[in-house]
Amino acid sequence: MIAVDTNILVYAHRKDSPFHRDAVRVMAALAEGKAPWAVPWTCIHEFLGVVTHPRIYLPATPLAVALDQVEMWTESPSLQLLGENDGHWDALKAAVLAGKVTGPLVHDARVAAICGSHGVRELWTADRDFSRFRGLTVRNPLVSGAR
């Protein structure tokens, strides 16, 4: 299963992103496809925080519009929303230790741990920091030659 990180969601939503067109294309392929795909809940939360933040985007996305965007994604019958499960603490601790993670990178370790515990084989992201987490294949679908 493929999971999608926050930055791909933001790029697909924000028309002012230089990666918008490609992000819309890859998100549509996932949402309209039959294969299961996933988004960790924590990435949904972060998406809402980023696109509605007036210090990040001017103008920021109105909350109602951001919520509508999430609703559209969740209408995909092949989407699975992923959260922490019973083994999350062990997975998070392992990811933090193996990746030598501190500070803001703990969020990335959380995403990696959630993905790993749900059998995600590949995380689509433009964030190179995820390469520090073993067992998770990371791919930037917006780079030429990537799907």
- What secondary structure does DSSP assign to 74-108, as a single string? HT-TTEEEE---TTHHHHHHHHHHHTT--TTHHHH
Domain range enclosing 60 = 2-139
Report yes or no on 145 lying in a domain. no
Report yes or no on 146 lying in a domain. no
Assess contact for 26 and 41: CB atoms under 8 A: no
* Per-residue confidence band for 19, with pLDDT thresholds at 50, 70 and 90: very high
State yes or no: pLDDT of 7 exceeds 90. yes
Report yes or no on 144 lying in a domain. no
Report yes or no on 99 lying in a domain. yes
- Number of folded domains that form the chain: 1
CATH number at residue 78: 3.40.50.1010
pLDDT digits (tens, 9 = 90+) for 127-141: 999 999 988 999 999
- The answer, yes or no, to whether the previous bond of 59 is cis (omega within 30 of 0) is yes
* Per-residue confidence band for 65, with pLDDT thresholds at 50, 70 and 90: very high
* Per-residue confidence band for 79, with pLDDT thresholds at 50, 70 and 90: very high
Average the pLDDT over 38-58 and give the result.
98
Report yes or no on 45 lying in a domain. yes
